[in-house]
Amino acid sequence: MKFSRFSEQFSPDSGILQLMHDLGSAEGGAPPVAMLGGGNPAAIGAMESVFRREMGALMDNGRAFESMVGVYDAPSGNRPFIDALAELLRNQFGWSLDHRNISITNGSQSSFSVLFNLFAGESDDGVFRRILLPLTPEYIGYADVGLGDRPIFHANRPLIEMHGDRAFKYRVDFDQLEIGDDVGAICLSRPTNPTGNLVTDDELSRLRELAAANDVPLILDSAYGQPFPGIVFGDAAPAWDPGIILCLSLSKLGLPGVRTGIVIADPAVIDMITGANAIFSLAPGRFGPSLATGLVQGGEIMALSETVIRPWYEARSRLARDIANELMPDLPLRIHESEGAIFLWFWFEDLPVSSETLYRRLKDRGVYVIAGHHFFPGLDVGSWRHCHECIRVSYAATEDELRRGLEIIAEEARRAYGENTSGAAAARGAA
Which residues, in sequence order, are bridge partners of residue 245? 219
pLDDT computed for residue 7 by the predictor: 62
Q: What's the pTM value of the predicted model, to 2 decimals?
A: 0.92
Helices (H), 239-328: 267-281, 287-296, 300-304, 310-327
Q: Are 239 and 152 part of one and the same domain?
A: yes
What CATH code is carried by the domain that includes residue 101? 3.40.640.10
pLDDT computed for residue 1 by the predictor: 80
Instruction: Count how many domains the chain has.
Output: 2
Q: Are 325 and 366 part of one and the same domain?
A: yes
Single out the residue in 264, 298, 332 at which a domain terminates: 298
Q: Is the peptide bond before 229 cis (omega within 30 degrees of 0)?
A: yes
pLDDT computed for residue 429 by the predictor: 40
Q: Are 124 and 178 part of one and the same domain?
A: yes
pLDDT computed for residue 382 by the predictor: 87
Determine, yes or no, domain membership for 431: no
E strand spans, 174-234: 183-189, 218-221
Question: Cα dist. 242→90, 125, 246, 262, 266 in Å?
Answer: 14, 24, 10, 15, 5
Distance CA 429, CA 126 (A): 58
pLDDT computed for residue 214 by the predictor: 96
pLDDT computed for residue 419 by the predictor: 83
What CATH code is carried by the domain that includes residue 335? 3.90.1150.10
Q: Are 115 and 249 part of one and the same domain?
A: yes
pLDDT, averaged per 10 consecutive residues of the chain (431 residues), comes to 66 55 53 85 97 96 93 96 98 97 96 95 93 96 85 95 97 95 97 96 97 97 97 95 97 96 98 96 96 96 98 98 97 98 98 97 96 94 94 96 97 93 44 30
pLDDT computed for residue 38 by the predictor: 85
The interaxial angle of helices 399-418 and 355-364, nearest 10 deg, is 130
Single out the residue in 233, 266, 298 at which a domain terminates: 298
Residue 309 DSSP symbol: I
pLDDT computed for residue 104 by the predictor: 98
- For residue 345, the SS3 value is strand
Q: Is the peptide bond before 191 cis (omega within 30 degrees of 0)?
A: yes
pLDDT computed for residue 287 by the predictor: 96
Range of the domain at 389: 5-43+304-426
pLDDT computed for residue 426 by the predictor: 46
pLDDT computed for residue 146 by the predictor: 86
Cβ-based burial of 30 (10 A; exposed 0-12, middle 13-18, buried ≥19) = exposed
Q: Are 115 and 264 part of one and the same domain?
A: yes
Q: Are 327 and 410 part of one and the same domain?
A: yes
Answer whether 68's CB lies under 8 Å from 289's CB. Answer: no
